[in-house]
């Protein structure tokens, strides 16, 4: 059976999560305490209900424990976010994903049993900053505090060269994991594969080394 998702909080983030899941064909229940937000959501969720998620009887009545994943996308009201997560945990929801406002909020969420805590504003800020350093950096994902992955548009120093000739590994200590050419992607490319104009390289490495690569990109 197709997985069922419930999204609590239909702000910009919750809406985006709900819409994406719904467009992929999943069943999505959207919940918000604000009637207008619920009205706005009806077109891109399977069901939309007006409810206060800090009321445990309401969540029980909605059968929240039967959903495979529940996403708590409440922003400003940290207390409501924590209380909601606690209730979901108590009701035995299998997977709880919560949006955190800051590190402290995130820590509390982990402590009370959130399975995954996400920081969309912080992560997007990091991405934008890297894109500002070099507009050729399309995306930036932190893998650990020390290592990251970047998507970088091939620059004139790389175009026309093979991976070996580009010398990225020796010069920067980074590994090219994939080369994207339009819609095609070459996973784990060979040393003799040639980098073309407009190619996008997916590179993994230590943050310091990636920074050097970014600054010359
Ligand atoms: P975004 O950046 O995603 O727009 P935000 O950080 O501005 O979100 P809020 O607008 O504070 O977050 O919250 C997101 C949604 O959560 C709002 O639509 C709000 O009505 C809803 N919400 C807040 N508290 C509750 C609650 N107790 N029960 C249900 N929904 C709630």
In testing the pocket of ligand 1, which one of 16, 33, 45, 81 has its CB within 8 Å of the most ligand atoms? 33
Give the number of the atom of ligand 1 that is nearest the alpha carbon of residue 14: 3
> Is there a single domain that holds both residue 114 and residue 133?
no
Q: How far is the CA of 211 from the centre of ligand 1 (A)?
A: 36
> Is there a single domain that holds both residue 73 and residue 156?
no
The CATH number given to whatever domain includes residue 178 is 3.30.70.1450
Among 118, 134, 165, the domain boundary falls at: 118
Q: How far is the CA of 14 from the centre of ligand 1 (A)?
A: 8
Average pLDDT over residues 49-56: 97
Check pLDDT > 80 for residue 9: yes
Average pLDDT over residues 90-117: 97
Which residue puts its alpha carbon closest to atom 23 of ligand 1?
Answer: 74
pLDDT in tens, 61-79: 999 999 999 999 998 999 9
Q: Is 52 in the pocket of ligand 1 (CB under 6 A)?
A: yes
> How far is it, in rounded angstroms, from Cα 59 to Cα 93?
11
> Is there a single domain that holds both residue 72 and residue 139?
no
Number of domains comprising the chain: 2
Give the number of the atom of ligand 1 that is nearest the alpha carbon of residue 15: 3
> How far is it, in rounded angstroms, from Cα 153 to Cα 73?
33
> Is there a single domain that holds both residue 45 and residue 109?
yes
- Torsions phi, psi of 109, nearest 5? -60, -45
pLDDT of 216 reads 77
Average pLDDT over residues 17-24: 96
> Is there a single domain that holds both residue 63 and residue 10?
yes
The neighbouring-strand residues paired with 47 are: 29
Q: How confident is the model at residue 1 (pLDDT cuts 50, 70, 90)?
A: confident
pLDDT of 61 reads 97
> Is there a single domain that holds both residue 81 and residue 131?
no
| In 46-146, alpha helices (H) | 56-61, 78-90, 103-111, 120-133
Q: How far is the CA of 209 from the centre of ligand 1 (A)?
A: 39
> Is there a single domain that holds both residue 94 and residue 111?
yes
Torsion, Cα of 207, 208, 212, 213 (10° steps): -30
Among 118, 134, 164, the domain boundary falls at: 118
Q: How far is the CA of 78 from the centre of ligand 1 (A)?
A: 10
Among 65, 98, 118, the domain boundary falls at: 118
In testing the pocket of ligand 1, which one of 30, 58, 74 has its CB within 8 Å of the most ligand atoms? 74
> Is there a single domain that holds both residue 128 and residue 27?
no
- pTM: predicted TM-score of the whole model, two decimal places: 0.83
Q: How far is the CA of 157 from the centre of ligand 1 (A)?
A: 47
Q: How confident is the model at residue 133 (pLDDT cuts 50, 70, 90)?
A: confident
What range does the domain containing 47 cover?
A: 4-118
Q: Is 8 in the pocket of ligand 1 (CB under 6 A)?
A: yes
Share of residues in the chain with pLDDT > 70 (%)? 100
> Is there a single domain that holds both residue 37 and residue 100?
yes
> Is there a single domain that holds both residue 94 and residue 131?
no
Check pLDDT > 80 for residue 138: yes
> Is there a single domain that holds both residue 142 and residue 155?
yes
> Is there a single domain that holds both residue 81 and residue 134?
no
Q: How far is the CA of 53 from the centre of ligand 1 (A)?
A: 11
The CATH number given to whatever domain includes residue 25 is 3.40.50.720
Which residue puts its alpha carbon closest to atom 9 of ligand 1?
Answer: 75
pLDDT of 21 reads 97
């Amino acid at each position: 059976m197709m997985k069922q998702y419930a999204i609590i909080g239909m702000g910009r983030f919750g809406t985006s999560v709900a819409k994406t899941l719904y467009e992929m064909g999943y069943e999505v229940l959207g919940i918000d305490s604000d009637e207008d937000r619920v009205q706005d959501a009806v077109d891109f969720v399977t069901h939309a209900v007006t409810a206060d998620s800090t009321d445990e009887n309401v969540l029980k009545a909605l059968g929240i424990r039967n959903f495979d994943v529940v996403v708590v996308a409440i922003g400003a009201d940290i207390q409501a976010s924590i209380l909601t997560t606690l209730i979901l945990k108590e009701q035995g929801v299998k997977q709880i994903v919560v949006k955190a406002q800051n590190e402290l909020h995130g820590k509390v969420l982990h402590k009370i049993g959130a399975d995954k805590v996400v920081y969309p504003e912080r992560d997007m800020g990091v991405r934008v900053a890297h894109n500002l350093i070099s507009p050729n950096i399309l995306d930036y994902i932190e893998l650990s505090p020390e290592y990251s992955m970047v998507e970088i548009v091939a620059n004139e120093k790389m175009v026309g060269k093979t991976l070996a000739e580009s010398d990225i590994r020796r010069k920067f200590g980074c590994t090219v994991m994939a080369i994207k050419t339009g819609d095609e992607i070459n996973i784990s490319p060979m040393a003799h594969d040639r980098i073309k104009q407009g190619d996008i390289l997916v590179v993994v490495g230590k943050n310091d080394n990636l920074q050097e690569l970014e600054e010359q990109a």
